C-alpha cells in the first residue's frame, strides 16, 4: 500500500512543493491524498491543483471556536483517509489537543529554529539578536505543547557575520526543502515512528535533539541526509 499523506498549509506551500518534487524524483514514495488550507487564497492550493492533487479549504473564520474549527478539519481529513501521516507545512493555526490526539504519532511539523530555542514566531530575528553562531530548522512529532513535540531531525546552518533576516530565512528554507521530504520518506519507508521511549529511526531511539545534519556552507547540499542509522 502506498503511504498516504495529507499536507496542511496556510500560505505559499514551498515545503509542499518540495514534497511534490521528491515524489516526482522518486526519492519519496507516497501519495498526497489531500492538501488542506485554512485560507482560500493560499498559494499552495494552486500548486496542488496544478498537480491534480485534491484540495480543501476549512476557513477558521467560519467557526466560533478553535475546537469547532479543528473538528471540521478532522471530518474533512477523515473523509480522505486512511492517512498514514499528516504533514504541517506552514500551517499557521494552533491545534487543539483533540486534533493532536486524533492524529497521535502521525502528525509532523517543521519549525524554523533549532528547537527548543525560539518556539513561536520571528525566529530568524531572534537568532540574530542573540548572536547565535548556528540556526536552522527542526522537524518534530506534534504534541499538545506548541513547537514542543519530540524532535525527529534538525538541519543546522552557520549564521554569517553579514546575515540579515532575509538571508537567514532563505538559507533555512532551503534546508527545510531538503530535510522535510527525507523525514516524510523515512515515514513512508516504515523506518520512523513515535514510541513510548521516544522517536525511533531504523529500530534505534534517537537522541533528544533528533538526527543532526550539518553543512558548512549552509543548505546547498544534502550529503548525509537519508543514510540509514545503525
Catalytic residues: 111
- Residue pair 85/34 in contact (Cβ under 8 Å)? The answer is no
Helices and strands (H and E) in the chain: how many: 6, 11
Residue 22's DSSP bridge partners are none
Neighbouring C-beta atoms of residue 143, cutoff 10 Å: 17
C-alpha distances in Å from residue 209, one per residue of 153, 155, 204, 228: 7, 11, 14, 17
Show the cell assigned to 212.
Answer: 543532526
Contacts of 167 (CB under 8 A, 6+ apart): 160
Listed residue (186, 175, 195) closest to 228, CA to CA: 186
Amino acid at each position: 500500500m502506498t503511504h498516504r499523506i495529507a499536507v496542511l498549509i496556510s500560505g505559499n506551500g514551498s515545503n509542499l512543493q518540495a514534497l511534490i518534487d521528491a515524489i516526482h524524483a522518486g526519492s519519496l514514495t507516497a501519495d498526497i491524498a489531500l492538501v488542506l488550507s485554512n485560507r482560500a487564497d493560499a498559494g499552495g492550493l494552486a500548486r496542488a491543483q496544478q498537480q491534480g492533487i485534491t484540495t480543501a479549504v476549512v476557513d477558521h473564520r467560519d467557526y466560533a471556536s478553535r475546537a469547532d474549527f479543528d473538528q471540521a478539519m478532522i471530518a474533512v481529513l477523515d473523509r480522505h483517509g486512511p492517512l498514514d501521516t499528516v504533514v504541517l507545512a506552514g500551517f499557521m493555526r494552533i491545534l487543539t489537543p483533540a486534533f493532536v490526539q486524533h492524529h497521535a504519532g502521525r502528525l509532523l511539523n517543521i519549525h524554523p529554529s533549532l528547537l527548543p530555542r525560539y518556539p513561536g514566531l520571528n525566529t530568524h530575528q531572534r537568532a540574530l539578536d542573540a548572536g547565535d553562531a548556528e540556526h536552522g530548522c527542526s522537524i518534530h512529532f506534534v504534541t499538545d505543547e506548541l513547537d514542543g513535540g519530540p524532535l525527529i531531525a534538525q538541519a543546522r546552518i552557520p549564521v554569517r557575520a553579514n546575515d540579515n533576516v532575509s538571508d537567514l530565512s532563505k538559507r533555512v528554507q532551503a534546508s527545510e526543502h531538503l530535510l522535510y521530504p527525507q523525514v516524510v520518506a523515512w515515514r513512508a519507508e516504515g523506518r520512523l515512528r513515535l514510541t513510548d521511549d521516544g522517536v525511533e529511526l531504523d529500530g534505534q531511539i534517537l537522541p533528544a535533539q533528533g538526527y543532526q545534519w550539518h553543512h558548512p556552507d549552509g543548505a546547498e547540499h544534502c550529503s548525509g541526509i537519508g543514510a540509514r542509522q545503525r
